[in-house]
Amino acid sequence: MPVSPVSVVVPIDSPTPNSNHHRSDRRSIIREFCLNTSAHALPGIARSTSIHNRLFWSILFISFTTIMIYFIVKTILVYFEYPTKIDVSYASESQQYFPAFSICNGLAMRFDQFIGPFLNYTNKRNLTDTNDTTTISAFQAQYFFHA
């Protein structure tokens, strides 16, 4: 396979790479970012036409950024101090009673429904002579399952 000659045509008046062109590209990118950012004062810097306005907005931006960094660092330092405050006080109040508890025996019978008929049964048979419906004595308890 024969090789054919290749020629390259270069125009005489082609623009050469220029550092000013790259600099203006960077400036336009930064300017576009500053105009569209939500950070305050940066759009003011990008929009300003005079050096006084640009200086004013730059000083504001730098000073408030410094204040923001100061408060953030201060807050982080306070956080890492791990401050704790413990107040222990002893107040002697009246005697505390032991909490009441009950043990369920699994018997499906309510005391308030059981005690009335049970007392009628024991009183009719002259086994006991009481009308107390709040407690059951040990003597009465022996007649639970004899009925």
Give tens-digit pLDDT for 35-90. 998 888 889 999 989 999 999 999 999 999 999 999 999 999 999 988 788 888 88
Predicted pLDDT at 120: 85
More confident residue, 142 or 48: 48
Residue-wise pLDDT tens digits, 70-83: 999 999 999 998 87
pLDDT above 90 covers what percent of the chain? 21
Taking residues 120-124, report their average pLDDT: 84
The pLDDT score that the predictor gives to residue 18 is: 58
Given a cut of 70, whether residue 1 has pLDDT beyond it is: no
**Complete DSSP assignment for the chain:** -PPPP------TTPPPP-HHHHHHHHHHHHHHHHHH-SSTTHHHHHH--SHHHHHHHHHHHHHHHHHHHHHHHHHHHHHHT------------SPPPPPP----------HHHHHHHHHHHHHHTTS------S---HHHHTTGGG-
Of 23 and 46, the structure prediction assigns the larger pLDDT to: 46
Average pLDDT over residues 23-27: 81
**pLDDT value at position 124?**
86
Q: What is the pLDDT of residue 23?
A: 72
